[in-house]
Amino acid sequence: MTSIRAARPHELPALLEHPEDTERNAATRAYLGKLLDTKCTRPEWCLVAEDGDGRPVGSVVLWTLPGEETPYAFVLFEAPAGRDDTGAALLDAAAAKARELGADELDHVVDSPAQAPQFQLDPERRSALLRNSGFRVLRDGRRFRLRVPAELPSDDPRLTFRSLADLGPGPFIDVLEELLADTADARLTADVEQYGARRAAEKIFEQTASLRHEPEWWELGHDADGTPAVISLPAENPSVPVIGFIGVAPAHRGKGYAGSAVVRGTRILAANGAQEILGDCDAANTAMAKAFTRSGYENFANRLEFNRSL
C-alpha cells in the first residue's frame, strides 16, 4: 500500500536517492536546495510516496515564483515504473495540496531528452500518467539555448528601442494585447480564450515581471514610421537568464524583427553577466524558432506543457 506524506527534514534536499546515479543525485540536491533557498518551494510542499515498508518510492514538489505564496506548477515528479497507481496518487496529492493553498490550476512540463536537473526519463510514460490524471497539453514547445560568445551580432539599425523606465507599463501591455490577437502560440491562444486579449496581455506582463529584471532591460522597438514593432522582455528566472518574452506586432511581421528582438534581449542579458541564456517557443511558431536559430541558439530539447484545472 502506498501513502503520501510531506518530506521529512532529513530527506531534504535529496528526496529520492538513486544508488547508481551520483550525478543525478547531486543535481537533484542542488536544484531542490536552490528552490528552497529562493522560496520557490517550501518543505511542506515537497511530497513523498512511501510503500508499505516505509521506503520512499516517489516524489513531487510544488513550485512557484519567488515571492509568491500560491503554487502553480510542480517539479521533481518521480514514480516507480510499473506502479502507475503511485504516480496517480502523487499527482492527486499535489493537486489537492495546491488547491488547499489557493491555486485554481496546476502546470507541469515534460522535457525530452532527459537532462539535469530533473532527469525526466521515459517521457511517454510520464505524459500518459499526466493525461490519465486530468492534465491536458497546452503547448508542444521547443527549447533553445545560447552559450554566450565573445562577440554578439549588432542591433538592428531599423529599430529604435525605448525602455520600460521611459515608457511605463501601458504601451507594453498595449503591444502585447495587439499581438495576442494573432498568435501561433497555443498557450497564449488558450489564455486569450479564457481571459480575453487585454487580461491575457496583463497576465504575461505580470508573470514575466515576477522574474528578476531591471526596467531598463525591457524595451519596445519602434519601426522607422514610429509605431511599436517588437517587444523584448529579457529576465532572469531562479536558475538561468531567459528571453522571457519576444513578440512582433502584426503590422510588422515578415521583416525579420523577431530575430532582431532576440539579439537585443541577448545583448542586454550578456551585458549583465549572462553566460548561458534559454528561450522557448511553440513548435507551431516557426518564425520564432527561426529567429532563435538565426541568433545562434540551438534547439536542445522539446517541452510538452501540461495543465490541469483544479
* Same domain? 192 vs 123: no
Q: Which residues share a beta bridge with 296?
A: none
Q: Given this model, what pLDDT does residue 93 score? A: 97
Average pLDDT for the chain: 94
Is the entire prediction scored with pTM above 0.85?
yes
Q: Given this model, what pLDDT does residue 21 score? A: 87
Phi, psi of 30 (to 5 degrees): -65, -45
Percent of the chain with pLDDT over 90: 86
Percent of the chain with pLDDT over 70: 100
Residue 16 inside a domain? The answer is yes
* Same domain? 82 vs 204: no
Residue 259 inside a domain? The answer is yes
* Same domain? 84 vs 170: no
* Same domain? 127 vs 214: no
Structural domain count, the chain: 2
Minimum mean pLDDT range among 24-28, 73-77, 297-301:
24-28
* Same domain? 164 vs 272: yes
* Same domain? 48 vs 84: yes
Q: Given this model, what pLDDT does residue 231 score? A: 98
Residue 147 inside a domain? The answer is no
**Residue 47: CATH number of its domain:** 3.40.630.30
pLDDT, tens digit (0-9, with 9 covering 90-100), for 37-47: 999 999 999 99
Alpha-carbon distances, residue 287 vs 147, 156, 231, 294, 299 (angstroms) = 22, 17, 15, 10, 14
From 134, 169, 189, give the residue that closes a domain.
Answer: 134
Sorted by sequence, the CB contacts under 8 Å of residue 307 that are 6+ apart come out as: 105, 106, 107, 135, 136, 138
* Same domain? 42 vs 108: yes
Q: Are 175 and 251 in contact (CB under 8 A)?
A: no
* Same domain? 174 vs 228: yes
Alpha-carbon distances, residue 92 vs 99, 179, 251, 310 (angstroms) = 10, 36, 45, 10
- Whether residue 55 is predicted with pLDDT greater than 90 in this model: the reply is no
Range of the domain at 108: 3-134
* Same domain? 65 vs 180: no
Residue 65 inside a domain? The answer is yes
| Position 284 confidence tier, pLDDT thresholds 50, 70, 90 | very high
* Same domain? 7 vs 123: yes
From 88, 117, 134, give the residue that closes a domain.
Answer: 134
Residue 55 inside a domain? The answer is yes
pLDDT (average), residues 104-110: 96
Q: Is 151 exposed, middle or buried (0-12, 13-18, 19+ CB in 10 A)?
A: exposed
Q: Given this model, what pLDDT does residue 300 score? A: 96
Question: What distance in Å separates the CA atoms of residue 99 and residue 80, rounded to the nearest whole number?
Answer: 25
Residue 151 inside a domain? The answer is no
Residue 166 inside a domain? The answer is yes
* Same domain? 184 vs 231: yes
| Position 294 confidence tier, pLDDT thresholds 50, 70, 90 | very high
* Same domain? 120 vs 181: no
- Whether residue 52 is predicted with pLDDT greater than 90 in this model: the reply is no
pLDDT, tens digit (0-9, with 9 covering 90-100), for 118-164: 999 899 999 999 999 999 999 999 999 999 998 999 999 999 999 99
Question: What distance in Å separates the CA atoms of residue 197 and residue 208, rounded to the nearest whole number?
Answer: 17
Phi, psi of 55 (to 5 degrees): -90, 130
Q: Given this model, what pLDDT does residue 2 score? A: 80
From 84, 99, 134, give the residue that closes a domain.
Answer: 134
Residue 84 inside a domain? The answer is yes
